[in-house]
Structure 1
């Protein structure tokens, strides 16, 4: 196996990620030495079985970034810092502390009524569609797919639409890992701290208030960080999930031929996207508790292990002869103790499916405004989503009945 590190930045990650990851797999195997921004090293796990091993053995591959052995190589302005910065949250917690936090989040999200959630998502979808349905075209990514999850999550948090939109923009800037990532993270912390103070003073029928009242006994600082994790895990991936599903349905005749009332095809498209174009391509990370071996590689204590979710989903050793349709064994929601909580998965799927269904109901003749090959993907190895999704359709009157 080649031991020369692979750089995680570059157009090859977005032009043909499937072909690129298979070329990397052929040369390096299931565990790949990589260099992140500023040549900070890590291991990228793209083997399905190897990733299962990492996710199922927290005694060997732990979550806390305090264990990382490369902190001395990280520049102060490192754009990926928000992804690894050790803050008190479920994302980095281990053992009993993680169980305490995970139980609280699961309980708070499980209390979201699924029928009300769908009703709110329909209402939000109609409101957004009303802003552009009177024209003959729009960029569905920016005007719709990227906005609706934040609006619905804002409702779950008990905040008004405007603040939900603002949170989405700040969260995107942080996750994109660009030059504004750290300032966006500070802005988000400030906004969440203000929300926690509001709910502490005046509780309501929302997830934030439920978390404050939970026996887990959150402090304000703890909950501030936790709310960012929940928002980050639900907003951008769900937006990209919607956008990627719409792209698939607009470009693949298996779906485009059955737009009218084809709700079953929406679920099929959403599931296929999780296998082929999962919104979270790579996730940071796990940290070796002690020296170990993984996929024939020697992993040193403290080494960072990146979760190559998309690579593992494409592992030919697992996928050979197994169709994506009806198969939910993908790793797009991760796996093990730190997987996305089941209520959160249900919420994301309700938002995504409802958003696509309402759009196709309202604009049944929607089609791409450009050739499929002209679509461009966001320039990031971490997330998978189109930069824009321009479409045309027959103008219809706004409903305004929400």
Structure 2
């Protein structure tokens, strides 16, 4: 695929790209928009410019001016991921990799290089590898995990609750998903600051990213070898013992995929939900007033700020047409999650309330749809609810415009979320998170109403208790026990 094939007019300017700082720096060969460099700080605006110019599918350039198609339409994105007969995740078919346009040291090579894992497999091999992963996923005790999320949240909040302030990204959102995933994989002893830092570092493309990846692979390979001889009731053991008979290398590689993708997506989701709760009065009012539950708030965030803004690449197996564009055989396409979520054909406005609608693209679709999305939702639902219960008076401790993001073509990561609150005592991590009644809350405090015990009705001492009260209390007790069982408490 060449830049010429992107130009509907056939015009192509072979001159060198303008230097950084020039107004035309975001424009590359053929007048195509670059999705990297200074413009990457606001890719949302770039996507909307491309939509206005080209429609649902637009040509663009990756790092080092590698041509690619950006799928901007919701319907077109779903067609790509749900039509494996036309589009594949096997990057070995990508023309730019076959002809050397993408060099071995390309900045995106860790993302686009083919690996023998289910994410890049097709056909029978995909069924074998994906079947092992989904089979192991099906053994997870979701109610037990929700209880563990509550305990992990208690543990994290206990570390800063007495301080009256915290950074909810570094001290909460980046730790809770890793603690939970280490428990699910069967290596809770490996959860520490080092593995959290390594997971975050390997996705940044930093100078130490390769070393971080090697550390995580060492941890996962040790776990694989240990569980091969000493199986337990955990995800890793079930993956090893699946009839697909994965090799140790295949097990470790899939553990890495599950760990890193789940961690990164959920860490971003947690940070995004908490930021909106702390900065959007309407969102907070809906949550406080019961018009929106925490799970519904999470789904709204998946529409507005999906944890991964794009997935790349999908590759066309043969020449085809998509969104009015001719896609050549071997051409690569970006699965545009963020731009697809704001497609005006499916959403009246970029911030429209999508309550009750789960048709967002955050977890993909088709044969490569995220198999662990329910775990991610549980971590966000329970974690946010428990945190707000422990810190009902939490509020942002800096102006909203001072919040900073680290952006890339794959996602937008909130750097920090500083908050303040009245100091709170620590709580028993084995107990359900609860509001500390001392000191009393100010009238401006807020909390998730579903977490609060209903106050007993005030009655004068002289009024006798109705005869029906014991039966009424018994029924209420049964209902509450059922509700706790449903929530996994």
| TM-score, length-scaled by structure 2 | 0.77
Match of 1:316, SS state, is coil
Listed as ranges, the gaps of 5+ residues in structure 2 are 1-7, 10-29, 431-489
- 1:207-256 per-position Cα deviation (integer Å, ceiling 9, x unaligned): 00001111011111111111111112211101100100000111111233
- 1:343-367 per-position Cα deviation (integer Å, ceiling 9, x unaligned): x111111111111011100000000
Deviation, structure 1 residue 74: 2.4
Name the structure 2 match of 1:24.
50
Name the structure 2 match of 1:340.
370
Aligned partner (choices 53, 57, 68) of residue 42 of structure 1: 68
1:311 aligns with 2:343: no
Contact preservation (8 Å) 2:268, 2:307: yes
Name the structure 1 match of 2:358.
328
Name the structure 2 match of 1:83.
111
Q: Structure 2 CA distance, aligned partners of 1:163 and 1:333? A: 25
- 1:145-176 per-position Cα deviation (integer Å, ceiling 9, x unaligned): 11100110000011125436433322222222
Higher CA-based Rg: 2
The higher-RCO structure (CA 8 Å, 6+ apart) is: 1
Deviation, structure 1 residue 79: 2.6
Q: Structure 2 CA distance, aligned partners of 1:74 and 1:179? A: 20
Aligned length: 399
Match of 2:413, SS state, is coil
Deviation, structure 1 residue 5: 2.3
1:62 aligns with 2:101: no
Matched ranges for 1:94-109 at <5 A = 94-109=122-137
Matched ranges for 1:182-261 at <5 A = 182-257=210-285
Name the structure 2 match of 1:365.
393
Deviation, structure 1 residue 261: 8.8
| TM-score, length-scaled by structure 1 | 0.93
Deviation, structure 1 residue 24: 2.3
Distance 1:237 1:100, change over 3 A: same
Distance 1:14 1:31, change over 3 A: same
Distance 1:393 1:31, change over 3 A: same
Deviation, structure 1 residue 259: 5.9
Matched ranges for 1:253-402 at <5 A = 253-257=281-285, 264-320=292-348, 323-341=353-371, 344-402=372-430
Contact preservation (8 Å) 2:195, 2:216: yes
Contact preservation (8 Å) 2:286, 2:292: no
Contact preservation (8 Å) 1:157, 1:206: yes
Deviation, structure 1 residue 258: 5.7
- 1:20-76 per-position Cα deviation (integer Å, ceiling 9, x unaligned): 422221123222222222222221111111111111111111111111111212233
Using the TM superposition, name which of 348-357 and 391-400 deviates more.
Answer: 391-400
Deviation, structure 1 residue 271: 1.0
Q: Structure 2 CA distance, aligned partners of 1:167 and 1:65? A: 29
Contact preservation (8 Å) 1:64, 1:93: yes
Aligned partner (choices 161, 179, 183) of residue 155 of structure 1: 183
1:52 aligns with 2:52: no
Distance 1:358 1:262, change over 3 A: farther
Deviation, structure 1 residue 297: 2.0
1:9 aligns with 2:36: yes
Contact preservation (8 Å) 2:178, 2:191: no
1:128 aligns with 2:156: yes
Name the structure 2 match of 1:177.
205
Q: Structure 2 CA distance, aligned partners of 1:258 and 1:46? A: 30
Match of 1:391, SS state, is strand
**Bigger share in helix:** 1
Using the TM superposition, name which of 184-193 and 238-247 deviates more.
Answer: 184-193
Using the TM superposition, name which of 227-236 and 207-216 deviates more.
Answer: 227-236
Listed as ranges, the gaps of 5+ residues in structure 1 are none
1:140 aligns with 2:168: yes
Contact preservation (8 Å) 1:137, 1:393: yes
Q: Structure 1 CA distance, aligned partners of 2:429 and 2:200? A: 30
Q: Structure 2 CA distance, aligned partners of 1:304 and 1:353? A: 35
Q: Structure 2 CA distance, aligned partners of 1:11 and 1:155? A: 39
Distance 1:355 1:317, change over 3 A: same
